[in-house]
Structure 1
Amino acid sequence: MKHRAKPRPSQLPQYVFKVERLSHEGRGIAHYDGAEFSHPTEKQGKKVFIRYALPGETVKAQITRQVSKLEEADSIELLSEPNPYRIEPICPHFGSCGGCNMQHIHPDEQIRLKQDVLKSHLSHFAGLEPAQWLSPLRSTRVDYRHKARIGVRFLPKSNKLLMGFREAQSNHLTEIQTCKILDIQLDQALPEIKALLESLKGKSSIGHIELAKGDGEISLLVRHTEKLKQHDVNLLQQYALQKQWQLYLQPAGVESVHRVDDADAEMYLHYRLNEFDVDFAFNPTDFTQVNPTVNPQMVKLACDLLELKQGEKVLDLFCGLGNFSLPLAKCVGDTGKVVAVEGSEAWYRKRTEQSYQQC
């Protein structure tokens, strides 16, 4: 059973390993073992982190990085029975695209692994042992991501435009035709967007695009390093009008982002937490919770566990847009108080505006 991993041009060797366990980030951990395999004597006992390999499996792996205390590798062939939790990745680009690294692991096992990581961190850094583990919050949707930054690169020698995500541990782009974890509306638009970018005269100046989806809006942001010709701006505007999307250009840093489909319109998308009757406005570049299906469950669970009463006080650190602090304010009522702390001045201004809008 071969893996889809993209071959790496390298003079580093290939070896057979027996995988013992998983690392915190989901890589298989093995050791050089000269007694069982034909491993160099000088490497005896050295730890190897192997992408795409699971516990109990024997794999052929291509070494990709060597340092004094450990090595890294990619599994390129499974030589034994697969781990019971191994599944077929849903994405045809898995193994070359660096966007996902656990699609070969059953979701139940992914959750168990992440719980083990949290347990280890609580024990190691805080000396805490949870008395009870709550059932995980889950979503049945695979296409859960409502935001994505997608790299763009024009190759003048081949007159080809690449659009995709970066390869793992590399600055190279993996060209993608689809992203199965991206919201279906955004995913289905990827071929159209690539064709649009290919038609631009200034396509060599496009560095990346960003897609974002709110409850009722979608935005397309184009990052460019040189001023776009009006011809190109017109094409982008026509596409946004056809799709009824918001269109943003970013010629420099994040402060340069501006809306061009309707210069007089607000620069916001929106989402709502119905349980608490609160609405949020966010910019295309703002951080929001990655999974809009799980987010309401997460906020409700936090509020339920706190068992807040009218008049109580709550501290919300790194509050961002107020995803937690505004629902918490609803729980403590007019006589209560939520102190929402945010280190970013820009986020603070947005958070203050959100608070006044909800009053």
Structure 2
Amino acid sequence: MTARTRIERLDEDGLGVAPLGKRQTRVPFTAPGDVVVVNKTRRKKRKLIATEFEVLEPSKMRIEPKCPYFGRCGGCLLQHLPYEEQIRFKEAKLNSILGMNVEVVPSPKIFRHRNRIDIVISTKGIGFRRYGTWWDVVDIEECPVFGPSSQKVLRSVREFIAEEKPTLYEIGKNTGFLRYVVIREGKFTGDLMVNLVTSQGDLPEDFPEYFEYADSIYWSVNRTQSDVSYGDVERFWGKEYITEELDGVRYLIHPNSFFQTNSYQAVNLLKEVAALVDGERVFDLYSGVGTFGIYVAKGGASVEGIEVNPFAVEMARKNAEFNGVEAKFEVGEDRDVKDLSKYDTVIVDPPRGGLHPRLRRRLLRDGPENLIYVSCNPKTLTNDLKELKEGYHVENVRGFDMFPHTPHVEVVVGLRRLKKGTIKLI
């Protein structure tokens, strides 16, 4: 098939939407106003996605992408749009999903902002997944959204491969030794970590010499069939942890720690959450490595937190000690949380699936006066808010662009418990 059409708008996933016969077709890497010819499509979840297309007449909205891999790499879908247009898109997306006007705070930086990238090492190439595939890789020399150190590390990886000749991962067959290199950087501290993820096997003893400029060098082994960029730590050289500092609070970062990937915008996110805290006793649910809880505790609150991942709890405790704050973290599941009425404020930062139904019911029954909901998924946030509004009303909602050039956006919602006898407006 070959058909000419015009992009009318972007959908919630950042794909251009255009009429094609009786159907609408999604075209990646396009802008409203682009005239395109679509040569081939595939069906995904009842949607038609263009896989082979050409922009015949570019929209006036378009700008030249900074990254040479744009249009092939699956990382940045919106880099061809001016940043102010990206923010407008995200505000419109949140307004549509949440049914309320939401301001989105722009990221202080839109390049060199990411503090972590996971790079595939495979027979297909060394880089990121090609858009729309799990089996193909776009070979890259550097990543502009991470920064110059990515080029240095990738150069060292290729030098190591050329000289030591290890086998590379065969995607889909689960064969080969080298699988990923994960680069992490403290944007405010300058610390650099390189984590090589391999299958089981032997790593040459001189491996660390290729990355002597890094503060922390790790070798992790993935002993599973899963194509993931983490594993069991086999050995490390240099620092056991690198550090990041966000508005005077320092965090220890381990290869297997989750941490907000945009350090510059994370500062604004933390300040927003702290400003919404009311009272002295704070419960940090889904506490992770203590990112929110420790920042709030640094401001004087007494913080308790729970997290299902034991390793994250261990890191949260280390971070609390590292900063000398009053914050206690325990291993636990959201559905098992008991008495919430003793806290002044509860902070929830759930995974993409949202709150456990049992937790929602418990919040409605004996939750605190003040509830702060941090969400990375506006759709599940909407579902949770529908039920939470039986006992709470929304006082504050704000978006934060943690992920420039992508359709993703973080949201912080401040909720206050309805007083008994309050009539809920529908």
CA gap 1:357/1:313 in 2 versus in 1, 3 angstroms: same
Matched with 1:316 is 284
Give the whole-Å Cα distance in 1 for the aligned partners of 2:43 and 2:86: 27
- What secondary structure is seen at the aligned counterpart in 1 of 2:143? coil
Partner of 1:247: 217
- CA distance in structure 1 between the partners assigned to 2:103 and 2:28 by the alignment: 30
Tell me the distance in 1 between the aligned counterparts of 2:13 and 2:216: 36
Aligned residue for 2:253?
Answer: 282
- Name the residue aligned to 1:298: 269
Higher relative contact order (CA 8 A, sep 6+): 2
Match of 2:119 in 1: 150
Q: Structure 2 length normalisation: TM-score?
A: 0.66
Query: Whose Rg is larger?
Result: 1
1:357 aligns with one of 315, 318, 322: 322
1:98 to 74, 79, 91: 74
Distance in 2 (CA, whole Å) between partners of 1:174 and 1:46 is: 31
Contact 2:216 2:241 in 1 (8 A): no
Q: Do the aligned partners of 1:318 and 1:340 also contact (CA within 8 Å) in 2?
A: yes
Q: CA–CA distance in 2 between the matches of 1:313 and 1:142?
A: 38
Identify unmatched segments of 5+ residues in structure 1. 1-12, 34-44, 124-128, 156-161
The answer to whether the Cα contact below 8 Å between 1:146 and 1:213 also exists between their aligned partners in 2 is yes
What CA deviation, in whole Å up to 9, does each residue of 1:104-157 have, x standing for no partner? 11111111111222222223xxxxx24xx44614223512112111111237xx
| Pairing 1:1-359 to 2, within 5 Å after superposition | 13-33=1-21, 45-66=22-43, 69-74=46-51, 76-80=53-57, 82-123=58-99, 129-130=100-101, 133-134=102-103, 136-154=105-123, 162-170=125-133, 171-204=135-168, 205-214=177-186, 215-229=189-203, 232-234=204-206, 236-241=207-212, 243-252=213-222, 254=230, 256-262=232-238, 267-274=240-247, 277-304=248-275, 306=276, 308=278, 311-331=279-299, 333=300, 336-359=301-324
User: Which stretch has the larger CA shift, 167-176 or 113-122?
Assistant: 113-122
Between stretches 96-105 and 295-304, larger displacement belongs to 295-304
Residues 169-206 of structure 1 show CA distances to partners (whole Å, capped at 9, x for unaligned) of 21111111222112222234322322222222323310
Q: Greater CA deviation, 184-193 or 18-27?
A: 184-193
For the 8 Å contact 2:118–2:182, the answer to whether it is kept is yes
C-alpha distance in structure 1 between counterparts of 2:9 and 2:19, whole Å: 11
Q: Give the AA of the match of 2:65.
A: P
The match for 1:37 is none
Q: Which amino acid aligns with 1:193?
A: V
CA contact (8 A) 1:32 1:46 kept: yes
Check whether the contact 1:52–1:74 (CA below 8 A) recurs between aligned residues.
Answer: no
Contact 1:237 1:260 survives alignment (8 Å): no
Q: Distance in 2 between matches of 1:226 and 1:203?
A: 12
**CA 1:89/1:249 → structure 2, altered by over 3 Å: closer, same or farther?**
same
SS at match of 1:73: strand
Name the TM-score, length of structure 1 as normaliser.
0.78
Secondary structure at the counterpart of residue 351 of structure 1: helix
In structure 1, what residue type is equivalent to 2:178? I
Q: Distance in 1 between matches of 2:289 and 2:46?
A: 42
Deviation of the 1:69 alpha carbon: 4.4
Letter in 1 for 2:250: D
Local SS of the residue matching 1:260: strand
| Distance in 1 (alpha carbons) for counterparts of 2:161 and 2:244 | 29
- Give ranges in structure 2 of 5+ residues lacking alignment: 169-176, 224-229, 325-426
Q: Report SS of the residue matched to 2:222.
A: coil
The CA distance in 2 between the partners of 1:260 and 1:172, in whole Å, is 30
Cα distance in structure 1, aligned partners of 2:8 and 2:19: 8
Which amino acid is 2:302 matched to?
Answer: K
Q: How many residue pairs get matched?
A: 307
For the Cα contact (< 8 Å) 1:49–1:71, is it kept in 2? yes
Q: Distance in 1 between matches of 2:263 and 2:45?
A: 43
The 3 A distance-change label for structure 1 pair 122 and 317 is farther
Counterpart AA for 1:110: Q
